[in-house]
Structure 1
Amino acid sequence: MTPDVESVRWRHRIVERLQNHDAPKVFRLCLFDGKSILYSAAPLDLPDGTSGNYTLVVPGKGRVTVKVARVAGDTVTFDDLIKFLTGKISEQTPKVSVALNLLQFIIRQAPNLKYPNNGRAYFTSGGSKDLRGGLQLFRGFFQSVRPAIGRVLVNVDISAAAMYKPGPFVDIALEVLNIRGNARALSYRKHSKEWNILSQFFRNVLVDIKLPKKTVTKKIVGLVEAAGRFPFTQEQEDGSSLPTTEYYYKTYNIRLSFPDIIGIELSRGSGKNTVIPAELCTVAAGQRYTRKLPQNMTSMMVDFSKFRPEKRLEMIVGQKGDRVQPPTLEYATSPYIQDAGMEIAEKPITIQGQILKSPTIFYGKKQAAATWNITRQHLHSPEIIKAWAVVDYSLRLDQSVIKAFMDTLEQCCTARGMLIKLLLVLKDKMSKDIKEACSLALVSAGAPPGYNKPPDMVLVILPQSAADIRQDVKRAGDVTLGVSTQCVREDNIAKFSGRQLDQYCNNIAIKINARLMGVNSIPSSPAYDWFTKEDFMFFGADVGHPGPGIQNKPSVASVVFSYDRHGVKYSATSRVQQPRQERIGELGPMVYDAITRYGKVNGRAPRRLMFFRDGLSEGEYAGVGELEFQDIKEAVRRVWAEVKLNDPPPLITYLIVGKRHHVRFFPTNPQDGDRKSGNVQAGFVASEGIANPIAQDFYLLSHGGILGTSRPAHYIVLKDEIFNFDVRPIQEVAYTLCHAYVSATRSVSIPAPVYFCARAEYHFDASLRYIDSDGATVASSSTCEKQSFNLSQWRSGYAQTHSFMLARMFFA
């Protein structure tokens, strides 16, 4: 397209106009990927036989020339896909992938042309919710084609998206700043706090500019001060300039009401800016907000998306007349599906699975069920707290409230078997220098004369909104000082009392015990016990990426690993790497360090390694998964060679654990589901009917849902030297590990190594760990914000965990 059109939405509109208005006889029902590929069920009658140029005038965009050329690729057929589904091809070949992608386009094309979408899901305003702050929530539907043994499935689920609220730019800007109805308040100067908020919020947002006889849609690239006073250069021989206010009056007979407020910059180039007064602009409808939502809005999004299983299924299946029609009701009438000759079943499939037996949980010498009440248990191996300190950063808590909370917490710790010898509370508010606060905690609290040892634990009471302080606390504890920390928020302390406060303090107590190298409980099942008879290690691994649009921060690879004989104590390590690189670039050295640490603790080498990899998509199984498996093998060979071990190397099982998917299970008979939540019962495992044609995979719903519809985890057994691809014991070990997450008193949705890895990502975040040569962090320095990405700089400034914390589960 010339000029280039970046917006996928506009590219779709242009192709749709070609099909329906400018050249309908040529383009018929073509499928467009939104980028550069067009699929047609029959050869196109192009002017030059294989290519052609089409110039059209698009309302709101102007004149665009589209060049279409037939590529030399083969006609897409489904022969290889059928062989793949029936097991006659043992890998997903390029032809199989192309066929599956084409099926995706066919089912998605009709709704994606009608509604805002992200490619995989579309969203409608039916049932929308106002978020304030210039945003609203839309409901929608996810749909995806998935291969299964002998057939192709369409995965449909409800979805939700944050959207920019359409309307006058001035009104939306005031709402973003939480200002009521005073447009003149928008007369901000460049780089003021409000300016920066608005500039970030509206960057790349499309606005409609309404002028007499025409409306133009443009993208915001920046803001300007006092747009009404901005010099407007007229297109005449003398090159004279007018203030924007005078230009709009003379040219369009428009009088600007607010010439001193900010304006919108629409383009840059050749030293010239196109500036439009804000009062003439309207935020265009149907734009997704792709940045990270603030914490308060995230909870609203969760509530908006949360439905009991029976309601969720009802929304997916749908009924005619529903405010938001699901795709399942429109497949039969989609012109693209009809043109392809496809048929899609109207009802969801029914599968069969089994309920795994819950593991036994050992607390002390007693057993407990799969869900348990911690208040009746004595921890398996409670720790001794020689001294702990409290740093109080609360804004509203009275000292008597803090004392009552600490008394309850101490009682709960003692009741669980922990021995506390010295509790010290900082009564005075201190500066925000967390390092100094923790270092001086004992002295400032009035420790006994001659007692100069660091505290075993520093508990920090935070104000309600204190993300920066919490990050400083973790940096000081994990990296600088090497002391365990536990943060609690003042609003939680204030709102709980009686039995609720007791339960809250018990939950904190088990976290503290785990972070001090204590053991809360030990899970047991036949397959788990068989696995742990040999020396073993569990691994969890994942890569955390910077947020959308951030190009100058690295991705962080995290690996956690067990080092005790029960599989409940974990250590962790991390590395920075190129942004959005999914393969763990230094996995070999990280596994080498892990096995070495295991050897130092246990005096022997592991015989079995079970590796749980989070975060890989289906397209990365063969490539990234295979390479990482070889990295693990190489790390083992390196350890054995350096230590000169004669023992055989450990057997390795490498699994991928997927949780970012849309497969959901619903009990066919509600009486078979969980009595409270309506979900399928915890322990449900299934593969028959939905299994991948070439991978050994299964879905395990390991947790009992409390609110909403539970999401199972998807396990893909990529390599298996331990169980020889006997999936039953793998399922049992995975389910048992879902009961080994030390901070929970019920089973969780993924195995503990994967859960720990997800938790460790916060502690390993580049913003928390980066300290430059001057001692400045990312949060306190603008260096990393302005410079292009430099991996060597990040590696040199990325701080590793303090040696005192290596054996402690600071991430629990």
Structure 2
Amino acid sequence: MEEAPRELAPQAPPVQEAGPSQPSPEAPPPVQPREEHGPAEPTAGQEIVPTAPPQSSKSFRFPLRPGKGSIGTRCLVKANHFFAELPDKDLHHYDVSITPEVTSRVVSRAIIKELVNLYKHSYLGGRLPAYDGRKSLYTAGPLPFTSQEFHITLFDDDGGPGSERRRRNFKVVIKFAARADLRRLELFLAGRHAEAPQEALQVLDIVLRELPSSRPRYAPFGRLFFSPDLGRRQPLGDGLESWRGFYQSIRPTQMGLSLNIDMSATAFIEPLPVIEFVAQLLNCEIHSRPLSDVERVKIKKALRGVKVEVTHRGNMRRKYRISGLTTQATRELTFPVDEGGTIKSVVQYFQETYGFAIQHTYLPCLQVGNQQRPNYLPMEVCKIVERQRYSKRLNQNQIRALLEETCQHPRDRERDIIRMVKQNAYDKDDYAQEFGIKISDRLASVEARILPAPWLKYNETGREKDCLPRVGQWNMMNKKMVDGGKVRSWICVNFARNVQDSVVLGFCHELALMRHASGMASDLKRVCEIDLGIVSQCCCTKQVFKMNKQILANLALKINVKVGGRNTMLVDAVSRRIPLVTDRPTIIFGADVTHPPPGEDSSPSIAAVVASQDWPEVTKYAGLVSAQAHRQELIEDLYKVWQDPQRGTGATCILQKINWDGVSEGQFYQVLLYELNAIRKACASLEANYQPKVTFVVVQKRHHTRLFAHNHNDQNSIDRSGNILPGSYKQPLLHLCKVHPLCIVPPAYYAHLAAFRARFYMEPETSDSGSVASGPAGRGPQSASHCTRGPGGAAVRPLPALKDNVKRVMFYC
């Protein structure tokens, strides 16, 4: 018998409305480290850095959900959430200090595991603690002490039978910190408390992560766990392969506590001999020639931080982490071997000490250890250690291969998720039993509504003046853009050597005809003149020139918004029937911060803000971009209010602030305080005592909630791909989505595009060390006097200024 359907939406949605009578925020609680919600390619944890001390925060609280929707057709769907019983335990939090300091969570966990094995029944009172791998340890009840010191010995497993194992000694101090109260979580789930107690949720997450983290074939990364045993290891190219895995997280919802489980995949480095990895990376033969400088820099970037094991010492498989690459070939390298200054070559040393004759003497050596006293290892004696996730940027072919591996039919994904829950066997998990956590093994049934699609308005001169999307789809056939922009000159850049000029000219002509048919003003005779106006760049394949009319129409739509036109509008916006948006002058902001990929530690973060310009239609968004201190999440000095023309009549302006993804739920309160403070300051700079109402919304796409049809055989409840019907959501920003071709919340996505586009405006300077320093495009490196300073005094080079003719158009689309 199936469980009754319940509400899945978060208990306290991240929406805040603040009227002009409320004071500015001040003195927020301490900022907590960011924890990702498990994207396919998760980044390292990041910390919010406050830009300025806000003011009082006591008057700001997350509002409770006002009610449930009543529009649309009721339906039932399934979600990848599994009900969890709230444990009735006396949770205790203890601080953990390990000396000497350990930076690896794997080693930290090994130390605590050994401690528990040795002292569980003697010093720990029989308790089985849950450890986060860093500084915190939790127990389901008090330990017999408030502070205790332990001495633990670990042996490095880097040798074979009969080899000598390295012994390491650690001092561990466990000290009582606080009691973790589950009462607040109980009140929150009952709807009697507005803010989710993050510490209590974190404890439950840590408990449920203990079992998969301790399994030898699992590679844990935060809330993600990967294993070569969960599916085939698909090659991705350049020495990488994909591993399948799963994501898990305890989630507070209106149906109660639940465990969110989702399938995932990511890239791992293949455990290859280093020479073979390098050959795949360069995609060429390297066994009979030295490397070029460009090749050496590429290898250094790819291998820096990678762990390898040596193969020239028999059973002794000592492991090292690569710190760099030598500039000289192996045959040219020498080093002192004793205090007397005796010098030997690397080739000579390996022959005399290990009886190993180095064959590839023209290749550089790997550098391991610290830079002050580097240790040289020839490539041919090193093999990449297994279970290493590749955290650097993937190329387009690798991304495509990874997406193909992760793309599943909804029925197959649902099957794999259920199989994963049964395989994890939470009912037999010692840690879950210790802390009294019980997990259901059945998908949650959730009540939903299929909301009606909004009508879209097009130009009156077209054959179809308006349109009602069907099953989430519509096209531009027989329609004209509501406001066609004018293209005075343009050029098509062809990078393909195997495409004839006649094909390119045909493509240009067809695109120009499509633009004209869609309502854009353009001069067909000037289509192929060389004039650096609007540049349309095409890829290097023949297929790009053999496009059907719908693809050409999509290209025309993108060009139109870039030159200031508008493709479509909501009928309800024109007739002012959208509550809180069209009933009074409103500006909608979108904001995002994009960070450099892992490994590019000198590149800045890029912040972007867009704001609507055409109330009440809200379809055009002007944007600003700025370089921020590296990895900084909050936006600095970027809020400017675009004054609505009707504010001069005494009308109140509403600011609707929509953030793109990247903010975890534990950060909602801090981000709200700091960013709302920035908005208030910007408003006050325009006009004294100007405090408009503000609605603050966070859009998240990495929530890992998947909805499935309640009956996969019911053709009336699924689309052609097997997904649930469009509009089957709890709280969409549904109307705004329909004015974007991809059905994405426009202000949030536009800010994301603007921040991503701005990164290309920075001029990279690739040095021999492999680091990347960014400066404004078209200009050389700037001196420190031209840089802004982020927290900690880090220098941040500014972006080049936007030209006046693009500031008010959507150049970033």
State the TM-score bracket (shorter-chain normalisation).
0.7 to 0.9
Q: Of the candidates 419, 425, 433, which is equivalent to residue 330 of structure 1?
A: 425
Distance 1:790 1:179, change over 3 A: farther
Alpha-carbon separation, structure 1, partners of 2:194 and 2:691 = 29
Aligned equivalents of 2:640, 2:131: Cα separation in 1: 44
Q: How does 1:444-593 map to 2 (within 5 A)?
A: 457-459=533-535, 486-491=536-541, 494-497=543-546, 500-525=547-572, 527-528=577-578, 531-565=581-615, 566-587=617-638, 590-592=639-641
Q: Offset of 1:41 from its aligned partner?
A: 4.3
Partner of 1:804: 805
Answering whether residue 707 of structure 2 is matched by residue 656 of structure 1, we say no
TM-score (norm 1): 0.77
Q: Which residue of 1 aligns with 2:168?
A: 64
Distance in 1 separating the partners of 2:106 and 2:778? 35
Alignment partners' CA distance in 1, 2:647 and 2:562: 17
For residue 16 of structure 1, the aligned residue among 108, 113, 130 is 113
Q: Which moved more, 1:294-303 or 1:630-639?
A: 630-639
Unpaired segments ≥5 residues, structure 1 = 319-324, 428-440, 443-454, 460-485, 687-697, 701-733
Question: Partner amino acid for 2:189?
Answer: L
Give the superposition deviation at 1:425. Answer: 5.2
Tell me by how many angstroms 1:286 deviates.
0.2
| Alpha-carbon separation, structure 2, partners of 1:6 and 1:361 | 55
**Is the 8 Å Cα contact of residues 368 and 374 (structure 2) preserved in structure 1?**
yes
- Alpha-carbon shift at residue 263 of structure 1 (Å): 1.8
- Show the counterpart of 1:434: none
- Residue 34 of structure 1 and its aligned partner are, at CA, apart by 1.9
Cα distance change of structure 1 residues 780 and 214 upon mapping to structure 2, 3 Å threshold? farther
**Which among 204, 208, 221 is matched to residue 103 of structure 1?**
204
- Identity, % of aligned positions: 25
Larger mean CA deviation between 34-43 and 371-380 belongs to 34-43
Query: Secondary structure in 1 aligned to 2:537?
Result: strand
Q: Partner residue of 2:23?
A: none
Aligned residue identity for 2:613: Y
* Cα distance in 2, alignment partners of residues 364 and 740 from structure 1: 14
Give how far 1:156 is off. 0.5
| Cα deviation code 1:499-527 (max 9, x no counterpart) | x4322221121222222222221113485
Root-mean-square deviation (CA), in Å? 3.3
- SS of residue paired to 2:232: strand
* Shift in CA distance, 400/112, structure 1 to aligned 2, threshold 3 Å: same
> Is 1:135–1:164's contact at 8 Å kept on the other side of the alignment?
yes
**Residue pair 2:709, 2:723 contacting (<8 A) in 1 also:** yes
Instruction: Give 1:207 shift.
Output: 0.7
Report the equivalent of 1:175: 280
Please list, as runs of the form range in 1=range in 2, the aligned pairs for 1:277-426 lying within 5 A after superposition: 277-318=378-419, 325-326=420-421, 329-365=424-460, 366-370=465-469, 371-421=473-523, 423-424=525-526
Post-superposition CA distance 1:635-690 (Å, at most 9, x none) = 2233233xx9xxx854322211111221111111222433301111111122xxxx
TM-score relative to the length of structure 2? 0.76
Amino acid at match of 1:739: K
Task: Assess if the C-alpha contact under 8 Å between 1:86 and 1:150 holds in 2.
Answer: no
Shift of 1:396: 3.6
Distance 2:807 2:567 in 1: 19
Structure 1 residue 410: Cα displacement: 1.6
Partners of 2:269 and 2:342 in 1: how far apart? 38
SS at match of 2:225: strand
Deviations 1:276-305 (A, max 9, x none): 222221100000001111122111111111
**Which of 622, 625, 630 is residue 672 of structure 2 equivalent to?**
625
Structure 2 CA distance for aligned equivalents of residues 409 and 557 of structure 1: 34
Residue aligning to 1:719: none
Indicate conservation of the 8 Å contact 1:382/1:520, yes or no.
yes
Mark the CA change 1:798 to 1:776 in structure 2 (over 3 Å): closer, same or farther.
Answer: closer
**1:788 shift after superposition:** 11
What residue is the counterpart of 1:764 in the other structure?
758
Q: C-alpha distance in 2, partners of 1:656/1:303?
A: 29
Distance change in 2, residues 1:557/1:261 (3 Å): closer
Correspondence for 2:657: 611
Kindly provide the amino acid, as one letter, of the partner of residue 809 in structure 1.
Answer: M
**In 2: Cα distance, 1:684 partner to 1:512 partner:** 31
Q: Which amino acid aligns with 2:567?
A: N
More helix by share: 1
Counterpart of 1:57, as a letter, is F
CA positional deviation for 1:77 = 4.2
2:206 is aligned with what amino acid? F
Q: Distance in 2 between matches of 1:581 and 1:776?
A: 18
Residue type at the aligned position of 1:281: C
| Counterpart among 69, 78, 88 of residue 182 in structure 2 | 78
Change (3 A) 1:80 1:808: closer
Partner of 1:166: 271
- Per the alignment, in what secondary structure is the counterpart of residue 675 of structure 1? coil
1:242 Cα offset (Å): 3.0
2:190 maps to 1:146: no
Contact 1:542 1:613 in 2 (8 A): yes
CA distance in 1, matches of 2:490, 2:238: 42
More moved, 225-234 vs 277-286: 225-234
Question: 1:122 aligned to 206, 213, 225, which one?
Answer: 225
Q: Give, as a single letter, the amino acid of the residue that structure 2 aligns with 1:760.
A: A
Structure 2, unmatched stretches of 5+, are 1-97, 159-164, 766-773
Name the structure 1 match of 2:237: 132
Query: In 2, are the aligned partners of 1:556 and 1:764 still within 8 Å (CA)?
Result: yes
Q: Which amino acid aligns with 1:569?
A: K
Q: Which residue of 2 aligns with 1:32?
A: 131
Q: CA deviation at 1:100?
A: 1.5
Q: Match for 2:258: what amino acid? A: L
Q: Answer whether contact 1:139 1:161 (CA < 8 A) is retained.
A: yes
Question: 3-state DSSP class of the match of 2:276?
Answer: helix
Contact 2:307/2:384 (<8 A) preserved: yes
Q: Are residue 231 (structure 1) and residue 334 (structure 2) matched?
A: yes
Give per-residue Cα distances to partners, 1:570-606, cap 9 Å, x unaligned. Answer: 211122222222222224xx233x23xx449999876
Distance 1:315 1:657 in 2: 27
Change (3 A) 1:799 1:249: closer
Matched with 2:42 is none
Residue by residue over 1:214-264, the C-alpha shift from the partner in whole angstroms, topping out at 9 and shown as x without a partner, is 2211111112233365335445x7453433333333333333333443222
For the residues of structure 2 that align with 1:769 and 1:226, how far apart are their CA atoms? 31
* Residues 796, 776 of structure 1: alpha-carbon distance in 2 compared, 3 angstrom cutoff: closer
Please say if residues 556 and 761 of structure 1, whose CA atoms lie closer than 8 Å, have aligned partners that are also in contact: yes
1:202 and 1:770 map into 2 onto residues whose CA distance is 20
**Structure 1 pair 289/632, CA: closer, same or farther in 2 (3 Å)?**
same
Greater relative contact order: 1 or 2 (C-alpha under 8 angstroms, separation 6 or more)?
2
Pick aligned residue for 2:368 from 266, 272, 289: 266
Q: Distance in 1 between matches of 2:696 and 2:394?
A: 34
In the alignment, is the contact (CA less than 8 A) between 1:228 and 1:256 conserved in 2? no
Does the CA-based 8 Å contact 1:386-1:422 persist in structure 2? no
Q: What does 1:781-792 align with in structure 2 at a 5 Å threshold?
A: 791=790
Change (3 A) 1:312 1:507: same
Matching residue of 1:50? 148
Counterpart code for 1:222: G
Read off the aligned partner of 1:655 and give its amino acid letter: V
* Alignment deviations for residues 59-116 of structure 1 (CA, whole Å, 9 cap, x no partner): 2383322222122412434233223322344434xxx333211111111111122211
